[in-house]
């Protein structure tokens, strides 16, 4: 039978929400897309929690300052543990409670960032990083991930060189490995990770993401589709 004139949220308290992550290299447009999707979902009548990593919680934001500080160098494994500590706190304090209350969570970066940057970028073993991600997240994985793909030079050009953080300051080869790593992850998790060409206009990127998200929410019975769909 047909639905209503507008898509209707079917989220309920006590039912699992929907978890969206946005990934990509620096300056790829993650925050821009996150803002657009949040507004879109709220206009559909859904409750949305936005979070970012590293950060998202009070402890996480303090860890973020340490991680991105230009002053300190850091052992690669120290870096992993700090990203994971921030993630754990974000899962426990924000992500899990929201999902348990039937809320949509949008995270600007999550587990794939660790695999792409610390795994493919720094060369740490992917298998170990996957295991550590599993522990840090209580096995809370995204329902849908948007990977915004752009060439590394393009992303860095969009930012002011003087503001580059510790990781942005890495050489171009590092950023190329991260991009390739992301694309490899997308080939492995085809169903979850949707790759978007990030070299286009932000409005076009948002439209494509909205179409994909809408379809997925209908499939997962999180919204009742419009009449005739
Ligand atoms: N990191 C890690 O190594 N391991 C981990 O596990 C995690 C993270 C979680 C912090 O990330 C660093 O931590 C990051 C990875 C590492 N390091 N690096 N390098 P972050 O997310 O805080 O910082 P970022 O990756 O550099 O993201 P950003 O600066 O927030 O960029 P963005 O969100 O992708 O882009 P934006 O802010 O939406 O847009 C940037 C600019 O481009 C802005 O002026 C926009 O107006 C413009 N823009 C956006 N879209 C477009 C399009 N389509 N065309 C033209 N211009 C655009």
CA of 159 to the centre of ligand 1 (A): 9
Question: How far is the C-alpha of 67 from the C-alpha of 58, rounded, in Å?
Answer: 15
Instruction: Dig out the tokens for 3 from the structure.
Output: 């639905």
Identify whether the C-beta of residue 105 lies closer than 8 Å to the C-beta of residue 98: yes
In which band, very low, low, confident or very high, does the pLDDT at 222 lie, cut at 50, 70 and 90?
confident
* Architecture of the domain spanning 8-224: 3-Layer(aba) Sandwich (3.40)
User: What mean pLDDT comes out for the span 115-131?
Assistant: 98
User: What mean pLDDT comes out for the span 190-206?
Assistant: 98
In which band, very low, low, confident or very high, does the pLDDT at 4 lie, cut at 50, 70 and 90?
low
pLDDT, residue 2, reads 46
Q: Are strands 48-52 and 8-9 parallel, antiparallel or unpaired?
A: unpaired
pLDDT, residue 10, reads 63
Question: How far is the C-alpha of 134 from the C-alpha of 128, rounded, in Å?
Answer: 10
Instruction: Dig out the tokens for 104 from the structure.
Output: 């949509």
- 121 Cβ closer than 6 Å to some ligand 1 atom: no
Residue-wise pLDDT tens digits, 42-97: 998 899 999 999 999 999 999 999 999 988 889 999 999 999 999 999 999 999 99
In which band, very low, low, confident or very high, does the pLDDT at 13 lie, cut at 50, 70 and 90?
very low
Determine which residue's CA is closest to atom 35 belonging to ligand 1.
29
CA of 106 to the centre of ligand 1 (A): 15
Determine which residue's CA is closest to atom 26 belonging to ligand 1.
26
Nearest-atom index, ligand 1, CA of 67: 13
- 32 Cβ closer than 6 Å to some ligand 1 atom: yes
Phi, psi of 180 (to 5 degrees): -60, -40
pLDDT, residue 9, reads 63
Check whether 173 has a pLDDT greater than 80: yes
Residue-wise pLDDT tens digits, 141-151: 999 999 999 99
Nearest-atom index, ligand 1, CA of 35: 38
Mean pLDDT across the chain? 92
Check whether 227 has a pLDDT greater than 80: no
Determine which residue's CA is closest to atom 40 belonging to ligand 1.
27
């Amino acid at each position: 039978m047909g639905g209503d004139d507008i898509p209707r949220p079917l989220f309920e308290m006590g039912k699992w929400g929907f978890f969206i992550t946005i990934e990509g290299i620096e300056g790829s447009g993650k925050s821009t897309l996150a803002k657009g999707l949040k507004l879109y979902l709220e206009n559909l009548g859904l409750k949305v929690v936005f979070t970012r990593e590293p950060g998202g919680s009070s402890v996480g934001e303090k860890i973020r300052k340490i991680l991105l500080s230009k002053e300190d160098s850091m052992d690669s494994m120290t870096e992993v543990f700090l990203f994971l500590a921030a993630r754990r706190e974000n899962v426990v304090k924000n992500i899990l409670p929201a999902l348990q209350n039937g809320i949509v969570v949008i995270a600007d970066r999550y587990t794939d960032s660790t695999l792409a940057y610390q795994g493919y970028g720094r060369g740490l073993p992917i298998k170990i990083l996957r295991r550590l991600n599993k522990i840090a997240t209580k096995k809370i994985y995204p329902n849908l991930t948007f990977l915004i793909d752009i060439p590394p030079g393009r992303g860095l050009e969009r930012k002011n060189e003087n503001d580059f953080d510790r990781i942005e300051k890495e050489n171009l080869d590092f950023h190329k490995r991260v991009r390739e790593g992301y694309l490899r992850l997308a080939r492995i998790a085809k169903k979850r990770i949707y790759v978007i060409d990030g070299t286009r206009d932000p409005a076009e990127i948002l439209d494509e993401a909205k179409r994909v998200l809408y379809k997925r929410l209908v499939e997962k019975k999180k919204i009742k589709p419009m009449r005739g769909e």
